Structure 1
């Protein structure tokens, strides 16, 4: 008869093997690649970049200002160039103009490299700390922050945009966006956000971009000025033919205050949360048509296999949707933004 110690060792080995098999079945079967990380070296390799402009606030680079480095790039640039922004807080407004595509803005990490300004305005674009208006732009490891103090509710002081994204084929990797009201103006074009952090209170992701947010964190800040609850999204799709909509795939929502997943900004507003962790910050109704008085029949506010204490759908707004796999697949695929043709790395 085998000794008790041998049986214990055999049992422990069996448990370990089963755990390994479970891991492989859970991840490998869905195409998970443990070796794929959307880091800066891989992005640089995929884009084939061999030119770098260094920005260092302490003077150890070619420029001390991010905008000065952008200004040095020729108009109608046709080759990818890295603007490497070393660690530091760069207090300036930065604009990527329409005639300067193929820029890779590379920081030293969103906790180390930050572009910060403080401005509120009755014009969202005017208030923006960072503006990207050129096609084929990529940012990695940078924080964008508008630290304007919270103003009076329902006034122009609410507009304090951290980033205005207004061109086609733009991607952000491991970046962060900080403000309160109207943090990220995802205005138009095909966009991809991977592993980003976005913080705000009311309408803090808005616009009419055709956008995938993959594995992103949305942190809700309490806004005690108003009785209505805030909303993560205010998407403004205006017609059935318009190819726009925000898709949140995986990631998580959490924070300090109750919030809606989104509110209707236009008659065909389209937002989808798929396989996302929703904390108790999500109110039971989930969605709202506050300030929109039109028909709700064409709104496309939807969820698919979300989880967490805020994911229960029993009390959701009556026009919101619970999708099945066949309905959600076209949206969570990189093909939704034609990404296989321009996104350098996706997971």
Structure 2
């Protein structure tokens, strides 16, 4: 009997472990944002997707706060089928509808099940139908009586919607489902109307632009009340995502610039640096008390509710009576609501770079210690913080929590720049691609450090993770003197946008353990193996220019890596003298290189690929093309061991699949 009990206990423990292992993701939003794209093709994901389809109403929207992954009983499934015909509780509050649409996009990317596509498109139509003529969105649609009809910024509801329709209107690859041209145009117009609504609802104090309220009246656009404890007020939380959305718009109008300037000044004015929130937790980790502790030089925070005219923070219980301090309201509301937030710091940190980019004079309000450690200007004429780029790197904090922007004014910077491993989150931003130039002339022979001298030749070395480079020209000017790198990337998650990379042999080196990099709208030129290395890299809308007859790529992809170098919507050009150019050859035998929707000039050799005298590479490498065009695209003449992808195979080469990482959507930031 005792032995039986022991076995029973062991069995129950094993079952418990299995259950716990299967429920690693306990919250629905966490499941949606899983970074393993292939998971969305598993039976587990498909089972959850059936629930998501059931919960979607026929009108296209979903209810909020549902744990979609929870198993449904037959009765629950039957009830949901009946409710589908209604419009009960369809909303965009708390991320509802927008997050389910993202889930459906991920499911369709892996399975191509048309039900997921139809579900996504119904959700999109729901969002478009719900928009008011003035550009705002209500919290519930169809309209639900009460404060729910107000234009709702609360919990980022409207911003979430605009962040869905924007990439569709811009025809990006963020979502796997491509609507019709008519719907794309509707999304463009809806986004523009949303921006117009945002500009019109920005609150003015004595004719000075400030921030936004959580709700605005759908007719008058004036501040509006919601729940009893959510009185009309300026919001130190909801205003953040609104400003960041406006700051992300390329070529902003004078009205958008004025809105951002006003909001930034308001955030600077209303920050609180003499209080810290202390939370008291019980044994289960639940908050049982919150206290605001007076502290000198505390990190800035902002109140969720501020008086419309004085900016003074206030707090309310369910009786709707304003209080001046948090300790004056009851336990339930005090501990069950976010009354303070540090989100505003992102606006203050990003504003200086945005201001310079858009020709906005930065006021003394942003010359704080925070600005000095997170934002530097490099200018050869002495008008910035440094005259050399490397000095700005040296001044940058190690492993910062936030981005550190190094803004480089026009000029030719003849220096060798290295961003070491400790300098993560660096943004190198040039004033203009054509006139902000980093140049140096190291090459293999000049370095003369033995057989690996190539790896010391780079003009710019990026060893830090999560860096971004934009609006720059990076040159290795040594000429045709053997291996000489312009850009070397050994960190992870490095994004290069609107840059020119110029060299000869070995222009661009991409490495790092399990590293992934993203190149967008770049011009890259060289001679032999001028894009090489072991990292995974996606090149989108880039021009790849061969200076002479040779090889474009030399990948050394590790065997276990799913993607190597992927070129999408790129243009392959060449100098007149370059008449025999190969798409690639294998530096290591498991090399992977794929060209999708690219335009290939007649410099590309008919056979396309070369094995570098490595017969094993013909068995183990993966060289492929899909839907390319131009005189250089001759699929019937390619070497027999290369591949022409099917439409289904090509559909897996999405930005999300290629660049998936533990840092979600890093490539979109």
TM range (shorter): 0.7 to 0.9
Unaligned runs of 5+ in 2: 1-178, 193-246, 251-259, 261-345, 351-370, 445-450
Structure 2: distance between partners of 1:131 and 1:296: 32
Match of 2:528 in 1: 202
Match of 2:468 in 1: 138
Please report how far the alpha carbon of residue 109 of structure 1 lies from its aligned counterpart in structure 2 after TM superposition. 2.0
Q: Structure 1 pair 109/133, CA: closer, same or farther in 2 (3 Å)?
A: same
* Counterpart among 246, 261, 279 of residue 601 in structure 2: 279
Match of 1:4 in 2: none
Please report how far the alpha carbon of residue 343 of structure 1 lies from its aligned counterpart in structure 2 after TM superposition. 2.7
Match of 1:334 in 2: 656
Match of 1:8 in 2: none
Match of 1:288 in 2: 610
Match of 2:631 in 1: 309
**Pairing 1:223-238 to 2, within 5 Å after superposition:** 229-238=549-558
Match of 2:503 in 1: 179
Structure 1: distance between partners of 2:415 and 2:596: 36
**Pairing 1:121-136 to 2, within 5 Å after superposition:** 121=444, 123-136=453-466
Match of 1:253 in 2: 572
Please report how far the alpha carbon of residue 326 of structure 1 lies from its aligned counterpart in structure 2 after TM superposition. 1.4
SS in 2 for 1:330: coil
Structure 2: distance between partners of 1:236 and 1:68: 34
Match of 1:98 in 2: 421
Structure 2: distance between partners of 1:254 and 1:32: 34
Please report how far the alpha carbon of residue 341 of structure 1 lies from its aligned counterpart in structure 2 after TM superposition. 1.2
- Indicate the larger mover: 100-109 or 335-344: 335-344
Q: Structure 1 pair 331/30, CA: closer, same or farther in 2 (3 Å)?
A: farther
Structure 1: distance between partners of 2:386 and 2:187: 40
Please report how far the alpha carbon of residue 103 of structure 1 lies from its aligned counterpart in structure 2 after TM superposition. 0.9
Structure 2: distance between partners of 1:259 and 1:27: 41
Please report how far the alpha carbon of residue 264 of structure 1 lies from its aligned counterpart in structure 2 after TM superposition. 1.5
TM-score w.r.t. length of structure 2: 0.43
Larger-gyration structure (1/2) = 2
Match of 2:487 in 1: 163
Please report how far the alpha carbon of residue 108 of structure 1 lies from its aligned counterpart in structure 2 after TM superposition. 1.4
Conserved? CA contact 2:571–2:598, under 8 Å: yes
Structure 2: distance between partners of 1:200 and 1:32: 40
Question: CA deviation digits over 1:171-224, x for unaligned, max 9?
Answer: 0010111001000001131111010110001100000111110111101102xx
- The reply on whether 1:192 has 2:525 as its aligned counterpart is no
Structure 2: distance between partners of 1:342 and 1:116: 31
* Counterpart among 243, 248, 251 of residue 42 in structure 1: 248
TM-score w.r.t. length of structure 1: 0.82
Match of 2:399 in 1: 76
Structure showing the higher strand proportion among its residues: 1
**4+ residue runs of structure 1 moved beyond 4 angstroms?**
24-36
Conserved? CA contact 2:407–2:428, under 8 Å: yes
Please report how far the alpha carbon of residue 267 of structure 1 lies from its aligned counterpart in structure 2 after TM superposition. 1.6
Unaligned runs of 5+ in 1: 1-23, 152-157, 223-228
SS in 2 for 1:198: strand
Please report how far the alpha carbon of residue 167 of structure 1 lies from its aligned counterpart in structure 2 after TM superposition. 1.1
Conserved? CA contact 2:518–2:667, under 8 Å: no
Greater RCO, CA 8 A, separation 6+: 1
**Pairing 1:11-50 to 2, within 5 Å after superposition:** 25=180, 42=248, 49-50=349-350
Conserved? CA contact 1:192–1:343, under 8 Å: no
SS in 1 for 2:668: coil
Structure 2: distance between partners of 1:83 and 1:133: 16
SS in 1 for 2:637: coil
